[in-house]
Amino acid sequence: MTRTAPNLPLAIGLMLTATAFIGGTMLMAKLLGTQALGPPLHPLQIAQGRFLFAFATLVTVAAILRPRLGTPRPNLPVHVGRTVFGAGGVTFMFAAVAFIPMADATAISFLNPVFGMLLAIPFLGERIGRWRWLATVMALIGAVILLRPGVGTFQPAALLALTAALLMGFELIFIKKLADREPPFQILLINNALGLTLTTIAVLWVWVMPTPAQWGALAALGAMMAAAQACFVNAMARADASFVTPFSYLTLIFATLYDLFFFNVLPDVVSGTGAAIIVAGAILLAWREGVNRR
């Protein structure tokens, strides 16, 4: 198996491109979940559209590039578990961005590696040192700030983003189990195929005919998600995860810019403080993961 040559500038560029695409998917989800493009679509329908067009994009790429694929049979239960939690996390996140600023939802989503780390204790038998606990406490404090627990300021919809982060934390456990077992493209293809199957069944009771503008937004959402995943995987192949992971937190910048440009929403001091604490904790966790690997 040929190892990809390290290329730090390219890795950074790919990761920045991925963050722009991920922020774009949040924007499309918000447009679809509000009245911006027509009657709001149910989060399940947005998730189903995301998997539909992402899978179509990946199949097109596979038809052109013809990558070598193996058999997923030994890992199929792991694929299913990863998809169930991932699809659930995506659906809750799309529901959240319809009600709260994208910057807040994005910042809360950064808790998923923290939840993944905590869940690795019982499920993977991993041990957590004091630096990891510090990162966890910091991130959770930031999340509490974003929830605005005071009377009259509490954001109930932020709990949707928190649930999404927890579900994606469970997804990380399955991703770790899949690591090095199969080619990355095959993992993406199977994940989107299973996600499409699952969400298509779930959406039958709430599906409505989208407007032409909503069809376009759904297609853009799916294509951007597939592109983001491809950029992320290729960035990881060209540099250490501890080096490129902190760049992924720039998704918050893109989400803020999209919110400002399309919805004229600018984060207040509370949002900025909570987001900064979560990002600081997440970066500390990424740094510590790098130290442990070395």
DSSP 42: P
DSSP 4: P
Residue 156: partners with Cβ closer than 8 Å, 6 or more residues away: none
| pLDDT tens, N- to C-terminus, the chain (294 residues) | 445 567 788 888 998 999 999 999 999 999 999 999 999 999 999 999 999 999 999 999 889 988 877 776 678 888 999 999 999 999 999 999 999 889 899 989 888 888 888 888 888 787 777 887 888 888 889 888 888 766 455 678 889 999 999 999 899 888 878 766 777 788 889 999 999 999 999 999 999 999 999 999 999 999 999 999 888 878 877 877 667 777 888 888 899 999 999 999 888 888 889 888 988 887 887 776 666 666
CB 251 within 8 A of CB 112: no
CB 38 within 8 A of CB 213: yes
